[in-house]
Amino acid sequence: MVERAVAWLRSYRCGVVLSEQACVSGEVPDAIGWKGSCHSVLVECKVSRSDFLIDREKPFRRKPQSALGCERFYFTPRGMISVSELTAGWGLLEIWGKKVELVHPSDRRLRTAAGLRHEMNMLLASLRRVEVRIEPQTITDFLKWKNRIAAYNGGLLPQGVEPTESEPNHYLNRPVMSR
């Protein structure tokens, strides 16, 4: 079910998605993704009613000031819970067969400043785990792999590979300032 949540987040236009990564607050989201403007979307997968009821009692659910996610969704088998049982602001995704259906949307402004700090902590911890795996190379060098390929090929990138500055990356787009 977590894999389906990750796929749904990608279809929901999240460019960066993590699953089952611990946060300093103790929260371990099944899946969380980020869209442009640091907008985060949390998905909690629940396969039974008891799992759902237990989740509602967790400290970061009872006091959501430090919880993750601008948007928050429960992801359950079809008909397992009703919209009236959702915590205020939460959305509901249901799976039945191979289909994921958005039954109830989430509020879009649930995350607080503390939640944003916890998300940043999670992202930085994840980047550090990547850096440990690619050592002695740094993340910066790893991200510049195209430069190394071009240098090896006499200044040319392989056919079909775009220069880094031509890659579409909405996370690097600067907001347009109105006059």
In the predicted model, residues of the chain with pLDDT beneath 50 are 176, 178-179
pTM of the model: 0.82
Spatial distance between the Cα atoms of 96 and 90, rounded to a whole number of angstroms: 20
Name the residue among 47, 43, 89 with its Cα closest to residue 65. 89
Please report the pLDDT score of residue 154 as a whole number: 78
pLDDT of the residue at 172? 56
Q: Where are the domains of the chain?
A: 2-113, 144-174
Q: Distance between CA atoms of 38 and 116, rounded to whole angstroms? A: 9
Q: Structure tokens of 157?
A: 């990138």
pLDDT of 179: 43
Contacts for 94 with CB less than 8 Å, ≥ 6 apart? 75, 76, 77, 78, 79, 80, 100, 101, 103
